[in-house]
Amino acid sequence: MLAEIGQFTLAFGMLLASLLAALPLYGYFSNNEKFMHTARPLAYLQLIFLLVSFLILVALFISQDFSVAYVWRNSNLALPLRYRISATWGAHEGSMLLWLVIQTIWTAAVAFYSKSLSRSQVARVLSVLGIISLGFTAFVFFTSNPFLRSIPAPFDGNDLNPLLQDVGLIIHPPILYMGYVGMSVPFAISIAALLGGKIDETWIRWSRPWTNAAWGFLTFGIVLGSWWAYYELGWGGWWFWDPVENASFLPWLAGTALIHVQAVSEKRNAFRGWTVLLAILGFSLSVLGTFLVRSGVLTSVHAFASDPKRGVFVLTLLAIYAGGALFLYALRANKLKSQGGFQLSSRETLLLANSIIFSVACFMVLLGTLFPLFFEAFGKKISVGPPYFGSMFFMMMMPMAVLLPLGMYYRWQKDELTRVLKQLLPSLVITLVLAVVVWFFFKPLNLKASLGVFGGAWVFVTAMFYLKDYKGKLTRAVWGMQIAHIGVAIYLFGVSMTEHTDFEIDSLMNPGEVKMVQGYAIEFKGVEVKQIENYRASQGHFVVSKNGKIVAEMNPQKRYYPKRGNPMTEAAIDPGFSRDLYISLGEQINDQGGWAVRIYIKPFIRWMWGGGILMMLGGFWAASDRRYFRHAKLLKQKNIDKYLKA
């Protein structure tokens, strides 16, 4: 019964989405206030129905209703409650429903936080968001319905993939989807503006906090994904340039470019067309990401059960959204020409450079991800290895790190390089001192690591100086920017150290053996078998000491889940501020209890994620700047006056 109600609310949600897509837009084009008025209520109703649908699915999982095929496939009687809940979004159908619910949440949020805008503006934006949710609701309902029954009902379920029985699965997808889906808001705002035939600063100012918030979620989602892969996959990696990972990185890169170009196009009449294009690109990449992950086009560790039929559907959605948007963009191209002039030597140029760097990086990652597909058309099977992405990304980020402080210190419209450099001189000196100190402490460092450390120090020191020297009130926007940039610096330091000074060794260890690794004495005590929750584990016991004192006791596991044929590796991690110790078990090698063991020392790896968290916080903080609300109040007053005058 419950599953049928779930289907019904989903279907009704689809109806509401189609009304939201059509009515306000019709009202806009025919200048009918009544129709435009329907936008907000429809947005709220849509949210309610889809939320109910989603909660019903969760309830079906909690109550373990195996007559629902999706529940049966992803859960079983032995599954602990918390994983039963998160199993809701553990596979394709459920995760798509989650995506959908999040889309309705953002839509309702836009409906709520738009009091200052005119009726026609709100109608347009919400209708575009309605078109988006209509597409995805149809996708779920027609090709990926999680409520389908399987009769007769099996007594016990299949299981949730053990890799997903983890706290990471509970939080990573929802946060990441908040980011992916959030990019639909600047997209919708841009389309709405294009429909009206002009992009003025009202539109851009309105889209900035939304872009920052979506970007913040995306940043957090990526950080969570990386951290989860690190401790869950058991092999010490934290980023593999896997197509699914790239799928989340692409909208992030476009989003970063967008945030920085919005800074210009809001304040100056410049780059308006470029802003719109990046907003379209950002969301299109989100949809492209979903397509890549779910269609089976690219092979990947993370890919959901792939189905070409679903692939075609999503590809069609992508063609409609992005194709339609780009077509509209071309139609309105003439009206988007910016008037504001600026010199080559100005802040505008530097922010443009940033935008170009991130857009090029985005393109490079896209190329590397899609290249195997392109090559397959010629009959050759290839793959693009991580080193390509790594070295290309490094080449992009180095100029970015160098130019970042210049961008902050340059004045708008016209400035002189010599003046800016003179201002930056004290920071440069301190940076060099700091970099040299770090280098001495951690040497030897190869060239890449040294450059990374220097870049990080440069960004960090200049950010500090900027805050110290800032004239005027330190608003949330400025604080947010600095916090995010400091996050970049910390990230650069962490990634340089962990990539270039980490240590890895695979060895056969017999019980009682001690391995000396970078000053740590790691003693293997042996492996014992234990029964835990719903799995059986071979648990290793390692005692790690430094200078005679015990630093950590580490217990990596090899887990055997009953319904799965193959074992799962659970690494043991001793986290630290300056390093992570990481041990994972291979398999038993001989009858004396000797096991294959992998030991990692990863310096400063937490700084990477810490930097990412700071970036997220900076984004959220900037998004909450009261300037937007103050301006909204002014605008609201202006609209009221206009209304009264009319």
Considering only residues 156 through 195, tell me which ones interact with other proteins, judged by CB under 8 A: 158, 161
Residue 260 C-beta: closest distance to other proteins, Å? 19
Window 485-514: contact mask with other proteins (x via CB under 8 A): ---------------------xxx------
Residue 493 C-beta: closest distance to other proteins, Å? 24
* Helix (H) / strand (E) containing 505: strand 503-509
| Position among 63, 391, 446, 518 found at the interface with other proteins (CB under 8 A) | 391
Binding region for other proteins (CB under 8 A) out of 49-57, 122-130, 177-185, 586-594: 586-594
| Position among 62, 85, 170, 370 found at the interface with other proteins (CB under 8 A) | 370
Query: Distance between CA 412 and CA 393 in Å, rounded?
Result: 29
Considering the complex, state which of residue 12 and residue 304 has its C-beta at the smaller distance from other proteins.
Answer: 304
Largest CA distance in the chain: 91
Window 53-92: contact mask with other proteins (x via CB under 8 A): ----------------x--xx-------------------
- Number of alpha carbons in the 13 Å side-chain half-sphere of residue 603: 16
According to CB under 8 A, which residues from 231 to 250 bind other proteins? 234-235
Window 283-312: contact mask with other proteins (x via CB under 8 A): -x------x---xxxxx-x----x-x--xx
* Helix (H) / strand (E) containing 536: strand 535-546
When asked if residue 596 is in the footprint of other proteins (CB under 8 A), the reply is yes
Binding region for other proteins (CB under 8 A) out of 317-325, 494-502, 535-543, 547-555: 317-325
According to CB under 8 A, which residues from 549 to 568 bind other proteins? 564-568
List the one residue out of 401, 484, 405, 404 whose CA is nearest residue 218: 484
Query: Distance between CA 66 and CA 351 in Å, rounded?
Result: 55
When asked if residue 319 is in the footprint of other proteins (CB under 8 A), the reply is yes
Tokens 């159908």 sit on residue: 93
When asked if residue 468 is in the footprint of other proteins (CB under 8 A), the reply is no
| 3-state per-residue secondary structure call for 312-381 | HHHHHHHHHHHHHHHHHHHHCHHHHCCCCCCCCCCHHHHHHHHHHHHHHHHHHHHHHHHHHHHHHCCCCC
Considering the complex, state which of residue 433 and residue 508 has its C-beta at the smaller distance from other proteins.
Answer: 508
Query: Distance between CA 199 and CA 417 in Å, rounded?
Result: 32
When asked if residue 529 is in the footprint of other proteins (CB under 8 A), the reply is no
Query: Distance between CA 319 and CA 5 in Å, rounded?
Result: 32
Residue 569 C-beta: closest distance to other proteins, Å? 6
When asked if residue 326 is in the footprint of other proteins (CB under 8 A), the reply is yes
Binding region for other proteins (CB under 8 A) out of 133-141, 379-387, 436-444, 533-541: 379-387
Tokens 């069609």 sit on residue: 316
Binding region for other proteins (CB under 8 A) out of 146-154, 487-495, 511-519, 530-538: 146-154
Residue 447 neighbours by CB under 8 Å, 6+ apart: none
Q: How many residues does the chain have?
A: 646
Beta bridge partners of 600: 504, 582
When asked if residue 590 is in the footprint of other proteins (CB under 8 A), the reply is yes
- CB of 557 closer than 8 Å to CB of 538: yes
Residue 483 C-beta: closest distance to other proteins, Å? 30
CA distance to 62, 98, 200, 236, 501, per residue, from 573 (Å): 31, 31, 52, 10, 18
When asked if residue 416 is in the footprint of other proteins (CB under 8 A), the reply is no
When asked if residue 421 is in the footprint of other proteins (CB under 8 A), the reply is no
